Amino acid sequence: MAVVVDTNVILDIVTDDPNWYQWSKQQIAIHAEKGLIVNPMTYSELCCNARSTEEVDLLLADFGADMVDMPRAALFFASKAHMEYRERGGSRQTGLPDFFIGAHASVIGVPILTRDTARYKTYFPEVTLICPENS
């Protein structure tokens, strides 16, 4: 079963994060054989500090990750979860990234590899999280 990778896990490795590099690197290695997925939102976030799409494509290839388009059902679910977040008083500054990632994993029925679990636990409780507290 594939695993959706949250942007923070990839960035931990790319930036050699002093707190999370080892955990993130280990988790990528453990789950790579299952198939690592990033969605268009994660791809876009990785592009922020890249010089080209080719650079991001090479980065993903190094990780053994594939960019997979999101089904329309996941896009719809992300929007509804984000609206629920806003109705509960969620910040206008918080965009959709976690909601896209969570909805994508939910609709295709795969876990998320992340170290940032709060929104996933609240809005996508059906999704299995591979996170520091579970590893």
Q: Does the pLDDT value for residue 40 go beyond 90?
A: yes
pLDDT > 80? residue 51? yes
Q: Does 73 have pLDDT greater than 80?
A: yes
Distance of CA 13 to the CA centre of its chain: 14
What span, in angstroms and rounded, lies between the C-alpha atoms of 131 and 105?
15
Lowest mean pLDDT among 38-52, 57-71, 94-108, 120-134: 94-108
Structure tokens that stand for 109 in this block = 């029925």
Name, in order, each residue with C-beta under 8 angstroms of 119's C-beta and a sequence gap of 6 or more: 85, 98, 99, 102
Q: Could you give the CA distance from residue 77 to residue 115 in angstroms, rounded to a whole number?
A: 22
* Average pLDDT of the chain, as a whole number: 93
Q: Is residue 61 within 8 Å of residue 120, measured between CB atoms?
A: no
C-alpha 89/C-alpha 14 separation (Å) is 33
Domain chopping of the chain, boundaries: 3-134
Q: Pick the closest to residue 70 from 45, 44, 100, 99 (CA basis).
A: 100
The confidence score (pLDDT) of residue 127 equals 98
pLDDT of residue 89: 86
pLDDT tens for residues 124-133?
A: 999 999 999 9
- The mean pLDDT of 45-64, rounded to a whole number, is 95
Mean pLDDT score, 16-44: 96
On whether the CB atoms of residues 46 and 15 are closer than 8 A, the answer is no
Percent of the chain with pLDDT over 90: 82
Q: What is the pLDDT of residue 134?
A: 85
- pLDDT exceeds 80 at position 42: yes
Would you say residue 52 has pLDDT above 70? yes
The pLDDT score that the predictor gives to residue 97 is: 86
DSSP 51: S
- Decide yes or no: CATH 3.40.50.1010 for domain 3-134: yes
